Structure formats: C-alpha cells, structure tokens
Structure 1
C-alpha cells in the first residue's frame, strides 16, 4: 500500500465508527481550550519560528486575499496579517471548537474587519475558482481524509500565479535527532497531552499521523500530480518540520 494511502488510514480513535474527518473535528473540539498552550509548550516556542519561515515565502507575492486552511485557532491568519498586510484573510476549519477560540483572539486584537474564521472543509471549499492570491496550511494536511482531493480543491480556488505554502511535521533522519524526536513524540507528547488537555488519544495520534504522512520527494510529486508547479520542499530544525511551496 502506498504511503499516501496509509496516511488516510491513521485516525485518532481506532475503535470509532466515525469517518476520519468526523474524528478529527471531535478531537480538536475536545482539546481546543488547551491547543495554543500545548503548541507553545511542547515545541518550546519553535512553532512560531516555523510559521514565520513559511509566511516569508509569500512576501514577494504581496497577496491581497489569503485563505488559511485548517486554520484552527487562527495563529497563521493572525501572523499573516501582521507580516503580509493583506486586505482580507479567510480561515476555514472543520472544528467549531477551535474556531470559537480563534474568533475570541481575533476580536481581542481588533482584527474582525480583516480576518474571518468560518466552518469549512478543505475538500469542498465554498469559493469560486481562482479566488485567492495565496493559500496557507499549517500542520493540517496530514489530517485531510482525502489528501489529493484537498490539494486539488485548493488548486482550484487559487488564482493563476498564486502560491500555496504548506507547513507540516516530518520525520528527522539525522542521528541522534531522530532517536530523541521519536522518543519525545511517542512517549512524552501523549503523556503531556493527557495531563494538560485530558486527551491522550489526540497526542498519540500526532506521532502516528506524522509517521504515516507522505514527506519530502513523495509529497512534492503528489503536489505536482495535483496540478501545482514550481514545487519545493525545505526542511527545518533538523528535519522535524518541512515547508512545501507550490504555485498554480
């Protein structure tokens, strides 16, 4: 079985009869109240640096209208507004719990006139063809139920000459980073997740989903086969994270 097929089989709750999409929405609804804290805590704040690196890919483009897919609590949308100064940002996510926290953050920052968060699915984006100048996805593509369908849909709503930037976890291969990373992800991350968010399943799913997700050259080829051009992949922090850039 191909890696891209395996990735869709990894789900948060193995015994559940719900679809992967439904399980993901439920999982993030359950951990939404602690999601931002756990991101900062478990990554030692490095996730902020990763997001900045990804958004720098869009600076030369000067996008006016940005779509942030799997926006969660809106971290990338908020950072994109500060770094790129677009006219408008739309963030979509299948977890209403995450969106509710994101809307609170946006309101406190006085950005409700610039950033809109709404319930939305990457596989059926409610927008006409060629709507957005740029699309971002941070730590969300591995959660797609149908990876290629989600990528195709993003390609559809991206303007010609527009750019897609994907930020996703990857598996480091350098000794001893690989060994330390695997130990941390496999044993420590689920424990912290259980203690802080009361959901061990969510943070046990994380390492499993990263391990199964197609990475590097395989992901580059998937993006090309989906119709994207000028596809690149850059690893960050010893290969713990990867940035994929692609144009329509």
Structure 2
C-alpha cells in the first residue's frame, strides 16, 4: 500500500517494493495492477522477494527508503538500518513508520487493554488462530522507541534524525538522512 501511495503522490520514476513473503508480494502486484492512480503516475513498479538485512541492490541505489510497520520484526534492527543506509544515495532520506507505545497516563491504559485484549480477540475470530495478533503488543513493546530508535539510526550512520509521534503516541514516524 505504501508503494502505491508513493507512486500516486510523488510520481517517482521507479518504486521497488520488498517483502520476505511471496504471498504478500502477489497481493501487492494485484493491487498495483488494479490501482488506476498508480498506473497513471507513469511509475515503474517492481516487487521483489528479499531480506531487508541483505538487500540485493548495489550501494547508493535509492533516493528514499521507507519501511511501514515492519522494522519491529527485523531479526537484527541495527543490521537492517545499516543495510538501508548502504542502499541510499548520499543525501537520501529514510522514513520509518512504526507502531509505538503511548506514554500518556491517560492513553496508556486504554492502549494496553486494546492491544492485549481486543486485537488478539479480533485476530482469533478472523483467523481462527489462538495466537493470531497476540504477538503484536509484545513486538511493539520490544522495539526501541523515540530517542532510543533515533540512537540506533545514528549508530547505523544516519544523521539529522527526528521522530514524530502520532495518534497519542500509538504510531511514530522516524526520519533520518544519509
């Protein structure tokens, strides 16, 4: 979805979508072929199965690298950031959108109830899998957040790092430059 939004909004020459799952890539290809706005943008869309810790691109390939709701699932987050840094051109931008834990004493209890009870229940109902979506709050809590995430990005080589919490802190946009 992010690749299609980028094609429609920014109209770049190319967009490369990457995922480990060939099934998810097939969904992306179907969506891209049905998205008239992305098709009208003139953007060449490519979807590749690849591991974000070992990207099959040469150094300095991209102007922008994005990751939406996925870095918390990287086996080694610092290695993932180093790999993103490697494939960015000098002056390029990294934009990461990730779920986060709110810090507000008013929002935090509601968030905890929602992520620990409502989301797993909905996941069980939809997928009929007892474990479905119960990993979500665990993975959100385990990933570095805020200044800790920015420190990791800087350790990977990025500069001009910033973060912008959204929706009472349940989501954060991280920006960094090469």
Paired residues for 1:205-220 under 5 Å:
205-220=135-150
Alpha-carbon shift at residue 196 of structure 1 (Å): 1.2
Match of 2:20 in 1: 94
CA distance in structure 2 between the aligned counterparts of 1:208 and 1:150, rounded to whole angstroms: 20
Alpha-carbon shift at residue 113 of structure 1 (Å): 6.2
Normalising by the residue count of structure 1, what TM-score does the alignment of the two structures yield?
A: 0.68
Aligned length: 174
Is the deviation greater in 141-150 or in 105-114?
105-114
CA distance in structure 2 between the aligned counterparts of 1:155 and 1:91, rounded to whole angstroms: 17
* Alignment counterpart, residue 154 of structure 1, candidates 80, 84, 87: 84
Please tell me whether residue 84 in structure 1 is matched to residue 10 in structure 2: yes
* Alignment counterpart, residue 165 of structure 2, candidates 235, 239, 243: 235
Please tell me whether residue 134 in structure 1 is matched to residue 60 in structure 2: no
Alpha-carbon shift at residue 227 of structure 1 (Å): 0.1
Provide Cα deviations, 1:101-144, integer angstroms capped at 9, x if missing partner. Answer: 11111111253962111101100000000000000000000000
Comparing both structures, which one devotes a greater share of its residues to helix?
1
Structure 2 runs not aligned, ≥5 long:
none
Structure 1 runs not aligned, ≥5 long:
1-74
3-state secondary structure, aligned to 1:203:
coil
CA distance in structure 2 between the aligned counterparts of 1:100 and 1:146, rounded to whole angstroms: 26
Alpha-carbon shift at residue 95 of structure 1 (Å): 1.1
3-state secondary structure, aligned to 1:243:
strand
Contact 2:65 2:93 in 1 (8 A): yes
Q: Which has the higher contact order (CA 8 A, sep 6+)?
A: 1
Paired residues for 1:68-79 under 5 Å:
75-79=1-5
